[in-house]
Amino acid sequence: MIDRTLLITISGIDAPGVTSEIFEAVAPAPVVVVDMEQLVVRGHLTLAIALELDASVTDSDAPGVLDQVRKRVRIAAGARNMEVATRPGVTLEIDLSREKFQVIVMGSPLYPECINIVTSTIAQHGGNLDRIHRIADYPVTAIRFEGSGVDHQTLRRPLAEVSVRCQVDISVQDVALESRGQYLVVMDVDSTLIQDEVIDLLGELAGVGPAVSEITAAAMGGELDFSEALQARVSLLAGAPATLIEQARELISLTPGARSLCRTLNRLGYQIVLVSGGFTNVMAPIAHELGVSAFRANTLEVVDGVITGNLLGPIVDREGKRQALMHFAQEFNIPNRRTIAIGDGANDIDMISEAGLGVAFNAKKVLRDSADTTVNVPYLDTVLYLLGITRDEILRSDRESKH
């Protein structure tokens, strides 16, 4: 069979006009462009172009036409001191039945050995890498691997083991045609969105700090039932003045990157919901400041300016968080596969497991074992990289917020 296709790869120092000049050289030839991709890494350009002869070219004329294309490209690239490689007989058919996946690896730093282990693990499970792209260089290095040939679920467990072995964060996701549709992000608050445990702050202010903190640690580690632990801690606050709530609010510190995370997600059209085992009394101003779509939490009962030690309404516990995710997904008409849950403790397990993508953020081991992916750096906005959002998009949101 006569070869009617040609793959051309040009590489060298990038400069304005390179791509234009290459296509100017090819333009007179009776060929069509069927595929192309360009990548620039640290000023070095690699441009790949797949060409196919026009139907008007006979098989007898095909070799001569392709030869002429090669010569034209080499002359144009040579003028720029760039290297050219050509390969005939390129298979251009796309197998749409092949599973597609996306793997994002984050490290600070990211070592070559880790990349070797990640890519060999993908290959061992039948995956082929189609594209590799850096999406962030600060505060972590984040690399996105796009590939095909294996279901993303097949890769999750072996790459989770690689994550622990290499001490990097790895996210494995499906690549769907609707990947840019609307998403729902459901986020825990205490020790996730903020650096504090509000009940512990209230306990310190009320003079019962050690007793409250001890119960909190056991509950977040999965050693105690969350609802019982919450009621036990709240009861220790009985009789404390309600002014402690405002004092606790002023002591709260947002997790580094929290504002950037919310600002970027809002600009990209994501729905953000806060779901907390903490208290609406403290959370409402934070939710308003960050522009989230909705929030759900427990409410401390206050009577005559005094905290009674009771809670109002149903407790938002482990199951309550899962129900909240399902409720808000239905309210915003977002399918489960486009839901993302972020948390740190045992009471986030059901929410994390229910979500399309569950992220354990600096989490307790009991949650890390249940999550799809983990983040172990102290910057909440690095979660954006796991969603495939680049640092450039984050910086654009930051610039726009200042105008």
Q: Mean pLDDT in each 10-residue stretch from start to end of the chain (403 residues)?
A: 88 92 93 87 90 92 93 94 88 62 92 94 92 88 91 92 93 66 92 95 96 90 88 96 95 96 93 95 93 96 97 94 97 94 95 94 91 92 90 78 64
14, 190, 350, 381: the active-site residue = 190
Integer Cα distance of 57 and 64 in angstroms: 10
**What tokens does 123 get?**
């290959």
Q: What is the pLDDT of residue 133?
A: 86
| Residues 6 or more apart whose Cβ sits within 8 Å of residue 362 | 191, 344, 375, 376, 378
Bridge-based pairing state of the strands 141-148 and 100-107 = antiparallel
Which amino acid makes up residue 36? M
169, 188, 200, 344: the active-site residue = 188
3-state DSSP assignment of residue 237: coil
Integer distance in angstroms from the first to the last C-alpha of the chain?
61
Integer Cα distance of 244 and 205 in angstroms: 7
pTM here is: 0.80
Q: What is the pLDDT of residue 178?
A: 46
Integer Cα distance of 299 and 283 in angstroms: 10
DSSP code, position 79: T
Q: 97: how many CB neighbours lie within 10 A of its CB?
A: 6
Radius of gyration of the chain (CA): 27
Nearest to 327 by CA among 310, 343, 339: 339
* Sheet arrangement for strand 141-148: 128-136, 141-148, 100-107, 169-174
Integer Cα distance of 17 and 22 in angstroms: 9
Integer Cα distance of 82 and 12 in angstroms: 5
Q: Which helix (H) or strand (E) holds 133?
A: strand 128-136
DSSP code, position 190: B
Integer Cα distance of 313 and 240 in angstroms: 20
Q: What is the pLDDT of residue 37?
A: 85
Residues pairing with 186 in the sheet: 273, 341
CA distances 390 to 143, 265, 401, Å, are: 10, 12, 17
Angle between helices 198-206 and 209-220 (to 10 degrees): 160
Q: What is the pLDDT of residue 36?
A: 86
> Any idea of the CA torsion for 297, 220, 202, 205, to the nearest 10 degrees?
-170
**What tokens does 96 get?**
């749409």
Residues pairing with 174 in the sheet: 101
Is 188 an annotated catalytic residue? yes
Q: What is the pLDDT of residue 91?
A: 61
Q: Phi/psi zone of residue 19: left (φ > 0), alpha (ψ -120 to 50 degrees), beta?
A: alpha
Integer Cα distance of 125 and 151 in angstroms: 9
Structural contact between residues 316 and 276, judged by C-beta atoms closer than 8 angstroms: yes
State the sign of the Cα–Cα–Cα–Cα dihedral 56, 62, 65, 66. Answer: positive
Integer Cα distance of 77 and 84 in angstroms: 7
Structural contact between residues 175 and 101, judged by C-beta atoms closer than 8 angstroms: yes
Which amino acid makes up residue 352? I
**What tokens does 91 get?**
């298979």
* Sheet arrangement for strand 44-53: 31-41, 44-53, 5-13, 83-88
Nearest to 41 by CA among 20, 19, 69, 11: 11
